[in-house]
Chain A
Amino acid sequence: MDAGTPVYDSSRRGLRFVEEARELWAYRHFVFELASRDIKVRYKRSVLGVAWTMLSPLMAMVVFTLVFSKFQRLAIPNYPVYYLSATLFWTFFSQATSHVGSLTTDALEIANRIYIPRSVFVASAVLVGLVNLLLSLIPFVLIVLVTGCPAHWTWLFLPVSLVIGTLFTAGVGLVVFTLALRFVDVRDMYQAILLPWFFLTPIVFDQSFVPPSWRWVLRYNPMTYLVEIFRAPLYNGWLPGPNTLAFAVLAAVASLVAGWLFYAWKVEEYGLRN
């Protein structure tokens, strides 16, 4: 046999988190195909097609705008853009991390039959989320134009925000995915966490509306900083402050490292049915 012949040796094991990363890279083609399957299937099934992805955040925007216009003292200039700039990220985050849970069925079915690194499912869910986020930029720009909100040069910061946001999302996604492989109730539990998390993050309201004695909640909520690195350049027209940016990066790196280590540690134990 020539030197190029692959050899599988079950006893030869490196560090798991390194090995899993190498395997994910080897299966990158499947990540793209799986993501493209999910996107194609979604748009083929729904009559409204692509429009649906754009409509649902707009509907929510209308509702929140109407609700908040009733509270005069909470007036925020150009509320629709204020709200949308933050939900861009929140929607991506909540969709991708929830989608991961529904992929566990696929993952278990496939991984019980042939070898595949399970992390491909998380990577694919994040990728699908990113595509949806990019699509939702279209209605965002439309609303900006319609409401006459000025476009800012700071919009160019968006790719940086996207990288940071993606790392954070992937980390949380890995934890949800790994647990959901093993426990059937994790998906519902996670949904129950998402709802209060949404309202404990300054997405529909501004930090200044929160009584000072409650501000610590926002300070310890990593989502506050992640939402801010999207809102500052898109809505305010300034770059996120150094502290905000530092906390956002810290949250993203911590999330990815913790998520990856947890995944690599538990996936073999959780990822199989007898």
Chain B
Amino acid sequence: MASGTEPAIALTGVSVRYRVASESIRSLKEYAIRRLQGRMDHGELLALREVSLAIKPGERVGIIGPNGAGKSTLFRVIARVRRPSEGRVIVRGRVAPLLELGLGFHGELTGRENVILHGTLLGRSRVDMTDRMDRIAEFAELEAFLDTPIRKYSTGMVARLAFAAATDVDPDVLLVDEALAVGDERFRAKCHARMAGFRDRGKTFLLVSHLLDEVRETCTRAIWISEGRIERDGPAVEVCDAYRAWARSKAPA
């Protein structure tokens, strides 16, 4: 019913405000005392200031910028982790957040149990994850260890299982954190091939990264965020070059 030209991700006038001062009070006792004494200062921090952007289906966008500029806050409002204080966020399609590999993994549980736990954490069903189990194990090359508690796995094995479980999805929108490729050289190539597969199938791709080369390679468009605003938005190569030049000029000689 809707036309195909609707953006996959649309932000209009999105601001995110943190209440720094009152949120720093960590104990209920102190909070209650301050409340009673009327000493509640509401220092605020604007992590995003009226950001508007539209990302078309199939676009591959990298988000770059210095630490504390609002990159992760932007990511969080798109990933639905935080609601914008003002403005509106629309995301069309199934979203796969490939942000935290192995989130929810527990050492005492077997590989199989962890894959199911992780999948349901992303809102999938147990049956769905059981159906995918063989494929996930095969990709991770861990068929023989699926019923072993993962505390007996090596770091590389856990990473492989986590990557396989997280990317065995067919989403419309992928939210990717930097350094997603894991394991040894050979497995990294496999990771890159899978990510390239998503790209070739025309998935919308949003990548947050410090690695400018990664953004230049995988993205067609880059958005440079600075102090909660969009500093520059355009072709990845152009924006990355401009950002690099700016970062160099800011660096002490």
Contacts and interface: CB of A to CB of B under 8 A. Distances in A.
A41 B113 CA distance: 11
A265 to B, nearest CB: 14
Given A45-B108, A114-B99, A186-B28, A10 B123 contact: no
Contacts of B122: 114
Contacts of A272: 81-82
A216 interface: no
B81 A113 contact: yes
Interface residues of B, number: 51
Nearest to B78: A8
B84 A10 contact: yes
Contacts of A114: 79, 81, 97, 99-100, 103, 121-122
Nearest to B31: A183
Interface string A144-180: 0000000000000000000000000000000000010
B92 interface: yes
Contact of A8 (B45, B89, B99, B123): B89
Interface stretch (A23-31, A57-65, A196-204, A227-235): A23-31
A274 B113 contact: no
Interface of B: 1-2, 4, 6, 18, 20, 23, 26-29, 31, 45, 47, 57, 77, 79-84, 87-95, 97, 99-100, 103-104, 106, 108-109, 113, 116-117, 120-126, 149, 172
Given A8-B91, A106-B104, A184-B27, 17 more contacts: A1-B93, A3-B1, A5-B172, A6-B93, A6-B94, A8-B92, A9-B88, A37-B117, A109-B103, A111-B81, A112-B81, A113-B100, A115-B79, A115-B97, A185-B29, A186-B28, A272-B81
Interface of A: 1, 3, 5-11, 26-27, 29-30, 32-34, 37, 40-41, 44-45, 106, 109-116, 179, 182-186, 189, 268, 272, 274
